[in-house]
């Protein structure tokens, strides 16, 4: 089983990689992040514990050349991708009327275009095999506008639109597409905030749902995964 995860060095991406390794021992994990080389210790431990093969790649997916380089790496590492988790993303709070010039372009580059261009490069082989599952990590911000969401929220709405359109296109080819909408999750996006642990989800919560959805029968597709903290959004 060949599983591609972007933004895999920490947070949800790392939890997803670890979740697939536990559920599918011996799988091939193809991981990217801007500083993936800094995680060699946990990669080695994960591989030893679950017998998985890991192909790690440093890539800045906010840049088109980074996406293309990683896509080339993936296509050299395997014949076709079974699971693609487009997790690379970035949060920057702000409001449309006064956020710095260029904020929307930055948000779109990493939160939308990285997933769009990488998926397009990997789809031909998936279509040829008539199988595969694409997960796009959207957000509750893609479902409801909220104060201080600004360009981030816009980019996640766009990612959801991409997910829904892609799902319709891929149905005849046997390829599933799932949009994942996590609420507040303990990741680097919340660094610096003083948050009561009971008010925020864990990365493993999101990862467990993705792994479960990937393990369903070929004729079943989870179209959307929506998770929020029990006590509501922050």
Return the ∠ at Cα 84 (arms to 80 and 89), rounded to 5°. 145
Return the ∠ at Cα 173 (arms to 159 and 109), rounded to 5°. 20
> Which two three-digit tokens encode residue 143?
């479902």
For tokens 């939308």, name the residue. 112
Residue 122, judged by CB atoms within 10 A of its CB (0-12, 13-18, 19+), counts as buried
Torsion of CA 206, 105, 118, 67, to 10 degrees: -110
152 is catalytic: yes
Residues 119 and 166 sit within 8 Å (Cβ to Cβ): yes
The residue annotated as part of the active site, out of 20, 24, 135, 152, is: 152
Catalytic residues: 152
């Amino acid at each position: 089983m060949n599983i591609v995860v972007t933004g895999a060095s920490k947070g949800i991406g790392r939890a997803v990689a670890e979740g697939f390794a536990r559920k599918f021992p011996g799988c091939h994990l193809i991981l990217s992040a801007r500083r993936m080389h800094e995680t060699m210790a946990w990669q080695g431990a994960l591989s030893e514990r679950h017998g998985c093969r890991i192909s790690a790649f440093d890539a800045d997916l906010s840049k088109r050349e980074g996406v293309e380089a990683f896509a080339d790496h993936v296509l050299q590492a395997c014949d076709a991708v079974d699971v693609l988790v487009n997790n690379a993303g970035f949060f920057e709070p702000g409001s449309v009327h006064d956020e710095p010039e260029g904020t929307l372009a930055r948000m779109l580059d990493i939160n939308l275009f990285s997933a769009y261009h990488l998926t397009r490069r990997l789809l031909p082989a998936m279509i040829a095999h008539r199988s595969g599952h694409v997960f796009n990590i959207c957000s509750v911000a893609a479902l409801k506008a909220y104060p201080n969401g600004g360009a981030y929220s816009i980019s996640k709405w766009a990612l959801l639109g991409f997910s829904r359109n892609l799902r319709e296109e891929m149905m005849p080819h046997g390829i599933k597409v799932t949009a994942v909408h996590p609420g507040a999750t303990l990741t680097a996006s919340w660094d610096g905030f003083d948050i009561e642990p009971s008010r925020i989800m864990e990365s493993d919560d999101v990862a467990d749902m993705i792994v479960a959805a990937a393990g369903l029968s070929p004729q079943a597709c989870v179209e959307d995964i929506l998770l929020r903290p029990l006590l509501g959004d922050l």
